[in-house]
Structure 1
Amino acid sequence: MSSGWTIERVASFATDEKSQKAAQSLAKPHQWKICGRSDRAVWGECLGRGKTPYRTQVDLNEPAFRCSCPSRKVPCKHALGLLFLFAEHPSGT
């Protein structure tokens, strides 16, 4: 069964091309300390430059985005990256 989340759909949420490209570079399993998913949401901890990973959650129904990073963009590159990862591996996130 398809999740309905495609690469194109995720890309449509990007605020600009720079965010989209940055997010695509984060859409790799090694960038995420932990990942999880339910029928309603995906979440994970993205490794950043600091010692504390960014905690990222996406409600798939709304969609709604939350991240502990300091970015003012909604969604931030971490939320987009998590969604790109989910879109590429819907059963393995």
Structure 2
Amino acid sequence: MKGDTQTALAAIKATTLAHMGAIGEVEGALTQHSDDITRLQTEVARLTAETATARLIVTHGGQQHSFTDPKAALDYATRHFGAPEARPKATPDG
């Protein structure tokens, strides 16, 4: 009986140590994922702020017109330059 008890206690101890090791690994992974999530949230906030302040510049008649709304820029360009499909294609050299 004493040998069975010692064997059972040794098995419980080994299982407990294995579980503690697994818990430590999971905690480490959670910390890493938490750090990754924080970095992603920071990047999303930065991109959101950058997008909110993005401007489209349309040059017409030597004047620059600045738009924060892409639809407003397209409407302006359509009024002054015609429909997009009727406009000449842009070239790399301007």
For Structure 1 versus Structure 2, the TM-score category normalised by the shorter chain is under 0.3
Greater C-alpha Rg: 2
Instruction: Identify which of structures 1 and 2 has the higher relative contact order when contacts are C-alpha pairs closer than 8 Å and 6+ apart.
Output: 1
TM-score, normalised relative to structure 2: 0.20
- Structure 1 length normalisation: TM-score? 0.20
Q: Which has the higher strand share?
A: 1
If each structure's helix is expressed as a fraction of its own residues, which one has the higher value? 2
